[in-house]
C-alpha cells in the first residue's frame, strides 16, 4: 500500500499544497529517484536527515510547476497523511516527463517557404 503525502511549496505570492505518493525513502530514495527522469509524471527528491522520493498525483498546475522549479535547492514541507506533524526538507531535485523541457517544434511549411524565399537570388532580365 502506498503512503499518501502532501508537499507544500511557497513563494511570495502564496503556497501550493500538492498531493502525492511516497515512492521511496531513506537510502532507497536516491536510486529510485535516479530512475524517474524519463518516467511519466512529476517526481521530487526531498533531502534532509532522511530522503524522500515523491511522485505528485495528480500532476501540478502550470503555476504550481513554476513555483516548484523556482524552489529547487530551497525548503518545502512534507506531510504524511494519517500521521502527525510536518517535516521540512530541501527540494533537492525534480524529474519526470512533466518537468522535461519540451522539444523544439518542427519547422512548418510556412517557415520553410520563407527560408527558401530568402535564399533566392534575384536575376536580371535584360
What is the domain partition of the chain in residue ranges? Answer: 3-118
The Cα 74–Cα 68 span in angstroms is: 10
Mean pLDDT of 38-67: 92
Q: How does pLDDT run across 72-103, given as a tens digit for each residue?
A: 999 999 999 999 989 999 999 999 888 877 64
* Residue from 18, 126, 109, 4 nearest 67 by CA: 18
Query: Is the confidence at residue 43, as pLDDT, over 90?
Result: yes
Q: What is the mean pLDDT of the chain?
A: 84
Amino acid at each position: 500500500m502506498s503512503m499518501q503525502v502532501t508537499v507544500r511549496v511557497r513563494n511570495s505570492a502564496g503556497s501550493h499544497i500538492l498531493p502525492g505518493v511516497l515512492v521511496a525513502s531513506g537510502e532507497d530514495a536516491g536510486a529510485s529517484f535516479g530512475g524517474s527522469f524519463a518516467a511519466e509524471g512529476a517526481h521530487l527528491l526531498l533531502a534532509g536527515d532522511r530522503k524522500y522520493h515523491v511522485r505528485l498525483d495528480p500532476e501540478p498546475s502550470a503555476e504550481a510547476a513554476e513555483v516548484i522549479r523556482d524552489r529547487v535547492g530551497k525548503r518545502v514541507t512534507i506531510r504524511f497523511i494519517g500521521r502527525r506533524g510536518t517535516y521540512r526538507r530541501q527540494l533537492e531535485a525534480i524529474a519526470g516527463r512533466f518537468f522535461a523541457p519540451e522539444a523544439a517544434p518542427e519547422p512548418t511549411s510556412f517557415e520553410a517557404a520563407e527560408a527558401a524565399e530568402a535564399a533566392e537570388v534575384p536575376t536580371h532580365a535584360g
